[in-house]
Amino acid sequence: MSLDALIIALSDNPLLLILAIPLASAGFLAVLPGWRLASWLNIAVSGATFAASLSLFSHRPPDTRLLFIDDFNIYLVALTTFVGFTTAIFSAGYIAREADSARLSDLHLRFYHSMYQAFLFTMLLALTANNTGVMWVAVEAATLTTVLMVSLYRTREAIEAAWKYFILCSVGIGLALFGTTLVYLAAQPVMGDGADAMAWTLLIKQAARFHPDLLNLAFVFLLVGYGTKVGLAPLHAWLPDAHAEGPTPISAVLSGLLLNVALYALLRFKMLISANPDTLAPGPLMILMGLSSLFLSGFMLYRRGDIKRLFAYSSIEHMGLITFAFGMGGPLANFAGLLHMTMHSLTKSGIFFAVGAITQNGGTKRLNEIRGLTVSHPVLGWTFAIAVLAIAGLPPMGVFMSEFLVVSSTFARQPLLAIPLIIALLVAFAALIMRLQAMIFGAPPPMPRHAHGQQTTFGTVLAYTPLLLHVGLVVVAGLYLPAPLVRWFEHVAKLLG
């Protein structure tokens, strides 16, 4: 294909452009010298990817055997590219201070920016793949790219966390591959050999004819496999270490984006199972894992001494709540799950933006050494307070709205299940409020540690702008949701069954 033909193909199909930008940028950033130029290029290409994703709303490309866009994944593609863009902005200021403090070498910084774009590519490919095998490969590739970034500091703790992440998630993804194979075997007698038996757009139309026993067995492996990647208890052991030891921008995209991608893969298979009237209901298994994640993370929040580990367990809590909502099923619970996916992505990535600035300013991740943020850094301290209150579920934030919908839908359908759900939410709420009081309103430490790098005015703008944007969106979402967005969530909720 000539260069002109390639340009025409990319301009006619925004989906190809969305995948091509981060893939090409990953290769270019790997050889580009100078981390400052790489930081700005990382912002530019992430913004271009986000702009290309918005074009999907006006021009949806036709489905192919490998790629497709539907009402479910289009909003996740837009959310992923948006958070990827804002994280790239925050990352520029964060990386500048890490380079100034000599914590990362030029080679490591070049590697970081390249892997950042590769990570965005793998997530976007997983979300848009119309082939179950391609989606599995993309999720596994996302694991490999993030493993390399988690170990970026090359400390003993970072390498240990990366190995734990790699081993546990690889085992989980291996189980997901077995489940994917079972789905193919169930579809093969109906769909025939080849790509047709692996294409979502074709599978969902014929799912009622597939062998139910194979689908039941497949879903168990898929739930355990992709559930490991989601961070559901008791498969969560990799997540706190990966969040704590990697660069904070990577913690933001891990928590805000990658967990959604893994859950998306699981929900696609749940749609197939639900479309077959002879299969067992997948909901109870998802409810069980969701509740176990809520309780485990809620109590673990009380014992964390590291601020990044604290919010890693908060991510486990909220992914458990989302899994619980989709396990309940029905239009209202699915609507709540979709809304909570969005609110959690925006809020938790914003929290990690704040955490990145807090740890660099204070030179520590230890909670007992982080005190009086509203005194030492008023803008950061108060914005962080709002973000933590949002993730804790206080009104009028968007997270409160989605949690309220989950609880109310559970009361309407399974009142007894609502009791442990509310208890788990209250346990986590109390833990976060207890931690927040000391961090925000306590007296600053008399002898603070040395900050990581020099804080410049422009670096502060880069760090605070995405934080303020995310927190602002979450607050607005709790007060007002645009009617087109509500109709969109309602439509997708019906698709999920």
Residue 332 shares a structural domain with residue 419: yes
Both 247 and 306 in a single domain? no
Cα–Cα distance for residue pair 56/203, rounded to 1 Å: 23
Domain annotation covers residue 369: yes
Q: Is residue 188 part of a domain?
A: no
| 254 dihedral zone (left: phi>0; alpha: psi -120 to 50; beta) | alpha
Mean pLDDT of 448-465: 71
Domain boundary among 268, 290, 325: 268
**Do 247 and 330 have their domain in common?**
no
Is 336 in the same domain as 291? yes
**Residue 4 clears pLDDT 60, i.e. is over it:** no
Cis amide prior to 61 (ω within 30 degrees): no
Residues 344 and 493 in one domain: yes
Say whether both 158 and 291 belong to one domain: no
- Give the bridge partners for 306, in sequence order: 366
The pTM score is 0.94
Point out the domain boundary residue: 245, 268, 291.
Answer: 268
What are the backbone dihedrals phi and psi of residue 47, each rounded to the nearest 5 degrees, phi first?
-65, -40
In a domain, residue 462? The reply is yes
- Residue 484 domain boundaries: 281-497
Are 409 and 473 in a shared domain?
A: yes
Co-location of 332 and 480 in the same domain? yes
Instruction: State the pLDDT at residue 193.
Output: 85
Are 244 and 339 in a shared domain?
Answer: no
335 and 262 within one domain: no
User: Is residue 274, in this structure, part of any structural domain at all?
Assistant: no
Q: Does residue 203 sit within a domain?
A: no
Same domain, 454 and 482: yes
Count of CA atoms in the C-beta half-sphere (13 A) of 182: 21
In a domain, 417, yes or no: yes
Within 129-155, where are the H helices? 132-150
pLDDT tens figures, 64-103: 989 999 999 999 999 999 999 999 999 998 888 877 665 6
Confidence class for position 6, pLDDT limits 50, 70, 90: low
Q: Beta-strand (E) ranges in 261-380?
A: none
- Total domain count, the chain: 2
Output 108 or 423, whichever has higher pLDDT: 423
Phi-psi group of 61: left, alpha or beta (phi > 0 → left; psi -120 to 50 → alpha; rest → beta): beta
- Hey, is 108 helix, strand or coil? helix
Question: Would 212 be classed as within a structural domain?
Answer: no
Judge if 472 and 349 occupy the same domain.
Answer: yes
Asked, for residue 225, whether it belongs to a domain, the answer is no
